[in-house]
Structure 1
Amino acid sequence: MEPTTDRLKTPRAAGMAGVAFALLLGAAIVLMRISVPAGEAADATIDQDRRWAVQLALQIVPFAGIFFLWFMGALRAHTGEAEDRFIATVFLGSGFVFVATLFGAAAAAGTVLNEQTPSDFGRHYAYTLLATYAMRMAAVFVLATSMIGRTLGVFPRPLAMLGTLVGLILIVVGAGVPWSELLFPAWALVISLYILRVRRRAGPADRSGPP
């Protein structure tokens, strides 16, 4: 009976990790946005008085990536053997590539920030890696997760439709609309809070069931 007990704890772990990831990534995006003037972010010069915001955001990103990996692993464990192999492969691949591009963009931005005279190439590289590639991998992850949730009945239909809408917006809009990156952590927060609410309602029933 021990595997069953561990499996019942998986959704709560996914919810807690998802909340942490959503808050950390959302905070990093906000800090990056307020530190860059309005207009084309890749061409903008960071105000010296706001460099602290970029530095803080870069320190937050690694922890956001760690919590995202935990969130992703716990969600996959929750679906179990019933998940479709094709969709599960897209789910895993997009999640791993998202984390890799997120870390790569943070590393590139940190290098540019530490330079005495930041190059245009470095700014463009960091911005493109984050806003174009990372966010589109995030879109694929959202779409795959919503498809798994809808197919297995893990998520209610409105929540699955919300994920599909968010994924389509992220993959089409990309970096074209400022602040659109916040859709991804906002979606992760909604999913996580839903999972936590379901586990809280199911808690008494789990305790009253057979050992």
Structure 2
Amino acid sequence: MSLSYSQPSRLEVLIRDRDISKHDFVFYSDRLIHLVAEHGLGHLPFTEKQITTPTGSIYTGVDFCKKLCGVSIIRSGESMENALRACCKGIKIGKILIHRDGDDGKQLIYEKLPNDIRECHVLLLDPSLLQLSFLPGNSANQAIELLIQKGVPESHIIFLNLISAPEGIHCVCKRFPSLKIVTSEINVALNKEFRVIPGMGEFGDRYFGTDD
């Protein structure tokens, strides 16, 4: 198991504010998603590469693996797609839709994944690893199970999210010990209603403007 996260920043403060405008919420969320995506890329395998600079000098650096794709958990995961595309030009992005309320979230509604996904390192996109994230059948666990069934090695999956609950992290990493999680912040805990504290509300509704 590999977990990477940063200390709370001004961006987390802004997107947690219940009084922030939708425009500002999207703007600052996009900035934070971009940072998480860049950090996630740093966990990919790489090879040494030499290039010639404009001065005629030889520069030795690194090159990421060639086979890479993103997979977003519909709907809130789609908010992370543009930032990933900005980091990885021309990246393929698949989709997974899981009915969160039906049959303990085990109902797979839709999936469209690249044909060569078994050969790829996969960046799984979902802003939150939070509510009910420690229960069997939640959307994150189901999405990871689907990727493994499609032939993706567990160690080739990097789960990118913005905020995580400790219970969710422990559950996912216990079930998938070779998975990597990259998050911007770990919240305090879940309360008796299984709501994360301090939390930031329903990310997808706030990002796409469908909250009350």
Q: Could you say whether these structures have the same fold, taking a TM-score greater than 0.5 normalized by the shorter chain as the test?
A: no
Bigger radius of gyration, 1 or 2? Answer: 1
Q: TM-score, normalised by structure 2?
A: 0.25
Q: Which has the higher helix share?
A: 1
Q: Which has the higher strand share?
A: 2
Q: TM-score, normalised by structure 1?
A: 0.25
